[in-house]
Amino acid sequence: MRSVLYAVLLLSTWVGLGCAAHRSDLEIPDREAIYDRPLDEMWPEVREFFTRNKLPFREDKGSRVLETEWRQEFGGSKVAGFFHRYMVVGRRETPTTSKLQIFRITKSRNKALQNPAVQLDWGVGRGVGLKGGDGDMGATDGESSVLTSTEDWEEVIAEPRGENAFFAESGQAQRDLLMEWRVFREVAPKLAKEENAPKPVQVAKAPKAKEAPSQVAIECGLPIIGLGKQARPGTVMMLGELHGTQEVPRFVAQTSCQVTVAGTPVTVGLELPLENQGRVDAFLDSQGEEGDWLKLMEAPFWRSPYPDGRGSEAMANMLEQLRQLRSQGLDVDVVVFDHPKANGQQREDAMAATLIHQVESAPKRFYVVLSGNIHSRTKKGLPWNKDHRPMGYLLKEKLDDVVALDMAYDSGTAWICSVDSQGKRDRLDCGVRETKGKNNGDRYFVHTWDSVNSEGYHGVFYVGSVNASAPAVHRGLGRPGADDNSNHPAPDEGWKLAEFGR
């Protein structure tokens, strides 16, 4: 009787989560997944899940805790700088039911990318399970009863060794409910021995790719909160940014990765001159070798005397991250849409026309359009020109599903071009500037309001504290010139130019 009841409950769960879950696989669940099996029965299938999906792990014998090896974001990218692993804790819910708690641990070599000592608050006592208590993880009588915190488990079973033994300058850990449900959707049917269980979500495979990886094989970083509500085929999500940060390009790369892995092909729109389209296409289809970088970077755009942040090192690295996804068989693309020779309204019209043509030509893709935060407004008028129709306004007129998000961030720095110190409008100072924002935590998120604000924005995308990113030609991967050395970029003092371009 219990097995029949479980099958009915599981079927109702799949009916509720089935197609809807597959369409919104990015949405972070608001509840835990409960297995209708004792922990000892559930755990072997969990171990098999990580083995089957090629996620090597170490396990503490006798407990129900395992931790996977470190993986680099964007699968082997030389520029990602972020490493992730999963800590998986099996918990007894009742004598006949169980659950998993999965924590994604993130570390970076770059201490500028994370505030010092930022760690997840694990709660009072930080306990993940004590022998004989409600959180009993199946410990045997011969085991120690001191099973304290996730940090303690990490020390016990996951001391970095070999290639993983680097000193992490910064790090954070977060509960990953999305991963918990991905495991549940695959493991629960096996426990129930259901032959007609829903199949795992398939990634968006590139048309020319022979094969594509599984969902779990790609590391896209910590899930972006609220992204699932916007990421639909045919939607244009405009991001109005402050140029010149490290975080916004990473947000775009993570968005593209997470949406494509959830099954929807993605096109990224960049405010780069239209004549760069051929170079970008060639780079995305290349092997990413030094010659491929030089062909991309030799365009005049990257050597502008007034580099305003659109040609930053972080933007170039984002193209490398998208190239990495493409090389693994994922359906990601890039379109550039700027018309720099046009001015004022003529430029807005031309940029909008380029994007409208792209969306109408491929209406089943999800579009992430990055531009300065004036272009992405969806309401008519600017303080100095009441008749101005921004690109976002024009897109909203012609396309069915357009959402405009303004950038939200914590204080930090950005590479900014502004009127020079003498106030001459025909000259610009370009360099690192301090920025003031509001601290809303460390997690990237998307949030929409009940109504559009006065500037035509539907909400915000939040990227945490910001750090300046210098022009790509100054340092880093693909720096053009005879003395280019991607592995040994120029020191910081070589690019912090307070009055570059004067």
**Residue 260's pLDDT is what?**
96
**Residue 420's pLDDT is what?**
58
Are the C-beta atoms of 387 and 442 separated by less than 8 Å?
Answer: no
Query: What would the two tokens of residue 414 be?
Result: 């950005």
**Residue 489's pLDDT is what?**
39
In angstroms, the Cα distances linking 285 to 293, 331, 365, 375, 392 are 12, 12, 19, 29, 30
**Residue 457's pLDDT is what?**
97
Q: Choose among 429, 421, 420: nearest CA to 500.
A: 429
Q: How confident is the model at residue 501 (pLDDT cuts 50, 70, 90)?
A: very low
pLDDT tens by residue, 164-191: 333 334 456 789 999 999 999 999 998 9
Cα(43)–Cα(90) distance, integer angstroms? 7
**Residue 127's pLDDT is what?**
36
**Residue 234's pLDDT is what?**
96
Q: Classify 437 as helix, strand or coil.
A: coil
Helix axes 277-284, 313-327, angle to 10 degrees: 50
pLDDT above 60 for 20: no
Query: What would the two tokens of residue 386 be?
Result: 């009441």
Are the C-beta atoms of 67 and 153 separated by less than 8 Å?
Answer: yes
**Residue 426's pLDDT is what?**
56
**Residue 352's pLDDT is what?**
98
Kindly state the DSSP code that residue 382 receives in the 8-state scheme.
Answer: B
Average pLDDT, the chain: 79
Cα(494)–Cα(446) distance, integer angstroms? 35
Burial class (CB in 10 A: 0-12, 13-18, 19+), 127: middle
Cα(404)–Cα(270) distance, integer angstroms? 15
Cα(332)–Cα(283) distance, integer angstroms? 13
**Range 487-493 average pLDDT:** 38
pLDDT above 80 for 499: no
Are the C-beta atoms of 431 and 499 separated by less than 8 Å?
Answer: yes
Are the C-beta atoms of 359 and 293 separated by less than 8 Å?
Answer: no
Cα(479)–Cα(316) distance, integer angstroms? 10
In angstroms, the Cα distances linking 286 to 207, 319, 322, 327 are 16, 11, 11, 8
Amino acid in the structure at residue 483: D
**Residue 197's pLDDT is what?**
59
Sign of the torsion angle spanned by Cα atoms 483, 484, 489, 491: positive
Q: How confident is the model at residue 76 (pLDDT cuts 50, 70, 90)?
A: low
Percent of the chain's residues with pLDDT above 90: 56
Cα(269)–Cα(263) distance, integer angstroms? 19
pLDDT above 60 for 22: no
**Residue 294's pLDDT is what?**
87
Q: How confident is the model at residue 36 (pLDDT cuts 50, 70, 90)?
A: very high
Q: For the chain, how are helix, strand and coil distributed in percent, rounded to 5?
A: 30, 25, 45
Span of 69-83, 140-154, 344-358 with lowest mean pLDDT = 140-154
Are the C-beta atoms of 439 and 220 separated by less than 8 Å?
Answer: no
Q: How confident is the model at residue 159 (pLDDT cuts 50, 70, 90)?
A: very low
**Residue 278's pLDDT is what?**
97
Span of 24-28, 166-170, 256-260 with lowest mean pLDDT = 166-170
**Range 439-449 average pLDDT:** 94
For the beta carbon of residue 192, count every other beta carbon within 10 angstroms.
18
pLDDT above 50 for 476: no
**Residue 305's pLDDT is what?**
77
Q: How confident is the model at residue 303 (pLDDT cuts 50, 70, 90)?
A: confident
Cα(378)–Cα(121) distance, integer angstroms? 39
Q: Choose among 502, 386, 408: nearest CA to 454.
A: 386
Span of 160-174, 319-333, 481-495 with lowest mean pLDDT = 481-495
Span of 72-81, 118-127, 226-235 with lowest mean pLDDT = 118-127
3-state SS, 92-160, equals: EEECCEEEEEEEEEEEECCHHHCCCCCCCCCCHHHECCCCCCCCCCCCCCCCCCCCCEHHHHHHHHCCC
Among 13-17, 152-156, 340-344, the range of highest mean pLDDT: 340-344
pLDDT above 60 for 425: no
Q: Choose among 16, 9, 18: nearest CA to 201.
A: 18
**Range 470-481 average pLDDT:** 60
Q: Classify 40 as helix, strand or coil.
A: helix
**Residue 483's pLDDT is what?**
42
Are the C-beta atoms of 167 and 181 separated by less than 8 Å?
Answer: no
Amino acid in the structure at residue 165: A
More confident: 139 or 367:
367
**Residue 21's pLDDT is what?**
37
Query: What would the two tokens of residue 102 be?
Result: 């999965």
Cα(18)–Cα(223) distance, integer angstroms? 20
Spatial strand order of the sheet with 236-241 comes to 332-338, 266-273, 366-372, 236-241, 402-410, 459-465, 445-448
Cα(252)–Cα(366) distance, integer angstroms? 12
> Cα–Cα–Cα angle for 186, 80, 491, nearest 5°?
165
Span of 81-95, 118-132, 341-355, 391-405 with lowest mean pLDDT = 118-132
Span of 165-179, 231-245, 250-264 with lowest mean pLDDT = 165-179
pLDDT tens by residue, 259-285: 999 999 999 999 999 999 999 999 999
**Range 468-474 average pLDDT:** 85
**Residue 196's pLDDT is what?**
59
Kindly state the DSSP code that residue 299 receives in the 8-state scheme.
Answer: S
Helix axes 391-398, 344-361, angle to 10 degrees: 40
**Residue 82's pLDDT is what?**
87
pLDDT above 50 for 137: no
pLDDT tens by residue, 351-406: 999 999 999 999 999 999 999 999 999 999 988 899 999 999 999 999 999 999 99
Q: How confident is the model at residue 459 (pLDDT cuts 50, 70, 90)?
A: very high
**Residue 116's pLDDT is what?**
39
Cα(128)–Cα(143) distance, integer angstroms? 16
DSSP E strand boundaries for 95-153:
97-108
In angstroms, the Cα distances linking 30 to 120, 175, 346 are 18, 12, 46
